[in-house]
Chain A
Amino acid sequence: MKSDSIISSHIVLTNKSNKRRKQAFTLIEVIIAISILSIVFMTAYRGLSQIARSKTLLDDEREILQIANTLSSRLSRELQMSIKEGEIQYPGEKELIFKGIEASVSGNNRGDQIIFLANEAGQYVPDGQSHSGLVTISYRVVKDPDAPRTDSKEQTFLLIRDEVPNIQPLEDALAKIMTFPITNRLKSLEFNYFNSKSQSWQRTWEEKELIPSMISFKFKLLTPLGREFIFATAVPIKAGVEEDRATGVGP
């Protein structure tokens, strides 16, 4: 009698729980769950896509930062090695130690050229002979035949570096000229020169027997996505400081 009742109560219990299990969600519950989920997903998606976008932009920018860093440290290093004795060896240029030419590439953008004598110790000359470390270096901006290279279809320019070893005569030196592009992402390049005699800035340089004491340069680069970045800095040039101030031989 006792065991009978236990069995019967067990059956009742399982029946009840079985019934509960089979109960489905109501429509309201499902709607609430779906709307909560969709709000959560929407927020997550917005955040993720924002992050993905900023990552694309940063990757785009990083390349330009690398180029800008390389370019500005290379220009600074070479300009600081410029010397004030001698004569530049470059096609069409004579009797100057330092030349800055102002040029315009498109609209307000400048594409200046600079030609200077520098002491590049340990330079490579492709004939295997040894030469002095003195070279004429030139930076110039030329049209890129393969442009545009960016998504924005904007015109970019090539920055070309020439290096002419200090050999006489000029024909022999030009036979050993080394020319290569530094970057193809240039939009503009601008040089300004500080004259230590007149204590003022100039846009061009054609002084004889004097080189600038400070050179500021500003360049714009275009990223692969076509965004424009500006970089600017200045370098002091010891050899360009006036004689009496640099050596202490006063007037």
Chain B
Amino acid sequence: MAVKSKLQISSGFTLIEVIMAVVILSGSLVVLLGLQSAAVSKALRDRNQLKAMMAARQILAAIEIQSETEPRSETETVYRLMENLNALPTADEELQELYNNMNAELEIAEWPNPEALSALTDGESNFLNRVRLRIFWGEFPDDQLEIVYFVPNNLGQL
């Protein structure tokens, strides 16, 4: 009897125990690594958002000031769209590289006059245009910035 109990004490782990320990260990490692990589991709997304925001500001500034308000719809790379809208002072390779892989979808459409303003506008032409700008990159649905904006379609009509 004494011999048997001594034997039991000095016996090693069973296979099941070892497997369970390894599974728990690798599970926690996977969770930790997953957290890290989530933080990394969030930061990356932050940077792209800032880039897209600055590009959008530049595009909208050009639309607002140059009364570039003919109804239109186009999908282009961000840099090409800026060129088309005369939003770039000069051809700029650095900017082209900065907005590399960013695309833009621009849609300018007439916006019906509100009822209340019909007296002012003689029920004639619409005086507002609705600008919808979507800048997108990457393959995830989150990888985009969408802005809806209104501009007078003929500055000074009202």
Contacts and interface: CB of A to CB of B under 8 A. Distances in A.
Contacts of A149: none
A234 B54 CA distance: 8
A50 to B, nearest CB: 10
Contacts of A54: 40
Interface string A141-159: 0000000000000000000
A46 interface: no
B121 to A, nearest CB: 13
A236 B58 CA distance: 9
B65 A248 contact: no
A233 B156 contact: no
Contacts of A17: 7
B72 interface: no
Contacts of B43: 58, 61-62
B112 to A, nearest CB: 21
Contacts of A55: 36, 39-40
Contacts of B44: 58
Interface residues of B, number: 40
B65 A213 contact: yes
B10 interface: yes
Interface stretch (A91-99, A127-135, A192-200): A192-200
A230 B3 contact: no
A196 B68 CA distance: 13
B50 A68 contact: yes
A107 B67 CA distance: 37
Interface string B52-81: 001101101110111100000000000000
Interface residues of A, number: 45
A244 B36 contact: no
B14 interface: no
B141 interface: no
A246 B88 CA distance: 23
Interface in A40-58: 44, 47-48, 51, 54-55, 58
A118 interface: no
A58 B64 contact: no
A245 B155 contact: yes
Nearest to B99: A232
B157 A214 contact: no
A17 B54 CA distance: 75
B147 interface: no
A201 interface: yes
A135 B88 CA distance: 29
Nearest to A80: B61
A183 interface: no
A194 B65 contact: yes
Contacts of A245: 67, 155-156
Given A17-B7, A54-B40, A192-B89, 11 more contacts: A14-B7, A51-B37, A58-B40, A194-B65, A196-B65, A201-B90, A214-B66, A216-B58, A233-B61, A245-B67, A248-B156
29 contacts: A14-B3, A14-B4, A14-B7, A17-B7, A18-B7, A21-B11, A44-B29, A54-B40, A58-B39, A58-B40, A58-B44, A61-B47, A65-B47, A68-B50, A194-B65, A201-B88, A214-B62, A216-B61, A218-B94, A218-B95, A231-B50, A231-B54, A232-B58, A232-B95, A232-B98, A236-B60, A236-B64, A245-B155, A245-B156
Interface of B: 3-4, 7, 10-11, 29, 33, 36-37, 39-40, 43-44, 46-47, 50, 54-55, 57-58, 60-62, 64-67, 86-90, 92, 94-95, 98, 155-158
